[in-house]
């Protein structure tokens, strides 16, 4: 231990009181190294059920600070080995491991391994709509349309405010020529996520297939607005000079 903490701060680090002695959380003095995954904390060697909260560099600690923007972002838990070693201590550990697997590989073995992790998460938390959606996407990639449709439907049922799931179910309705139902779902998806190009595009097609050409044209106009790059300060400057910006 002394060789790893050699230097003026070595004695201080070695004699620092434990959390139980101070009643406060101990800051981890060690930087994270991917190869240092151990049964306890990979940064400070802390063990026990409480280490994810005591160590300021632990995945659990960082995860808590990112909950507001979590969604599909796994940048703070992208080390697959670390997640695998500590998934029991990480909130939604199986889900995060599945995402880490998909980030590394989309080959058949990787897809199946990720699906097992998502299903394991669902066994612990049956109401996890995002895990259901991930399983549905994997089944769709594998060409299992029936299984994929079932899981998309379940994801949308669990979270009626989940735009991606609504879009997926709407496409299923369109394939079944149930266009009014597809339109209803896509209108809701657009209300939830007005700047979603996939939602706007799918809604345009649904309007057209439902025999509503005027609405389809309006939807296309809204889509064109999203796809058109915003005019910058230089374009405004050219307008003031009476020149036309490049098309």
pLDDT in tens, 106-149: 899 999 999 999 999 999 999 999 999 999 999 999 999 999 99
Q: Phi, psi at residue 114, to the nearest 5°?
A: -65, -40
Burial (CB count <10 Å: 0-12, 13-18, 19+), residue 178:
middle
Are the CB atoms for 134 and 118 separated by under 8 Å? yes
Look at residue 6 and tell me whether its pLDDT is greater than 50.
no
How far is Cα 78 from Cα 74, in angstroms, rounded to an integer?
6
Q: Which two tokens stand for residue 192?
A: 């939830």
Residues counted in the chain: 247
Using alpha carbons only, what angle is made at residue 47 by residues 42 and 52, rounded to the nearest 5 degrees? 65
Are the CB atoms for 93 and 71 separated by under 8 Å? no
Which pTM value belongs to this model?
A: 0.59
Please tell me which residue, 36 or 127, carries the higher pLDDT value: 127
- The predicted-structure confidence for 141-170, as pLDDT tens digits, reads as follows 999 999 999 999 999 999 999 999 999 999
Q: For 223-244, what is the mean pLDDT?
A: 64
How far is Cα 158 from Cα 75, in angstroms, rounded to an integer?
26
- Residue 83 has a pLDDT of 53
How far is Cα 168 from Cα 149, in angstroms, rounded to an integer?
8
* Residue 233: band (very low, low, confident or very high) from pLDDT cuts 50, 70, 90: low
Look at residue 182 and tell me whether its pLDDT is greater than 80.
yes
Are the CB atoms for 155 and 162 separated by under 8 Å? yes
User: What is the C-alpha radius of gyration for the chain, rounded to an integer number of angstroms?
Assistant: 25
How far is Cα 120 from Cα 26, in angstroms, rounded to an integer?
33
Q: Which two tokens stand for residue 66?
A: 């990112």
Structural domains present in the chain: 33-76 (no CATH), 92-159 (1.25.40.10), 161-228 (1.25.40.10)
How far is Cα 71 from Cα 52, in angstroms, rounded to an integer?
21
Are the CB atoms for 77 and 89 separated by under 8 Å? no
- Residue 92 has a pLDDT of 77
- Residue 227 has a pLDDT of 84
- Residue 169 has a pLDDT of 98
- The rounded mean pLDDT for the chain is 72
- Residue 94 has a pLDDT of 87
């Amino acid at each position: 231990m002394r060789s790893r903490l050699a230097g003026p701060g070595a004695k201080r680090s070695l004699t620092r009181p434990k959390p139980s002695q101070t009643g406060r959380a101990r800051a981890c003095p060690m930087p994270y190294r991917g190869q240092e995954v151990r049964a306890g904390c990979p940064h400070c060697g802390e063990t026990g059920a409480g280490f994810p909260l005591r160590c300021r560099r632990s995945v659990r600690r960082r995860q808590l600070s990112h909950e507001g923007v979590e969604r599909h972002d796994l940048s703070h838990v992208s080390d697959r080995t670390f997640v695998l070693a500590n998934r029991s201590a990480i909130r939604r550990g199986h889900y995060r491991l599945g995402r880490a697997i998909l980030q590394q590989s989309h080959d058949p073995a990787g897809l199946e391994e990720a699906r097992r992790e998502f299903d394991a998460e669902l066994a612990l938390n049956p109401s996890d709509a995002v895990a259901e959606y991930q399983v549905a996407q994997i089944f769709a990639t594998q060409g299992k349309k029936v299984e994929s449709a079932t899981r998309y439907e379940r994801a949308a049922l669990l979270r009626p405010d989940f735009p991606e799931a609504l879009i997926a179910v709407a496409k299923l309705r369109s394939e079944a020529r149930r266009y009014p139902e597809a339109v209803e779902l896509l209108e809701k998806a657009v209300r939830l996520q007005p700047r979603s190009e996939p939602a706007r595009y799918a809604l345009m097609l649904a309007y057209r297939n439902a025999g509503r050409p005027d609405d389809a044209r309006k939807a296309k106009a809204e889509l064109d607005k999203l796809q058109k790059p915003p005019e910058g300060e230089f374009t405004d400057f050219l307008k003031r000079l009476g020149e036309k910006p490049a098309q």
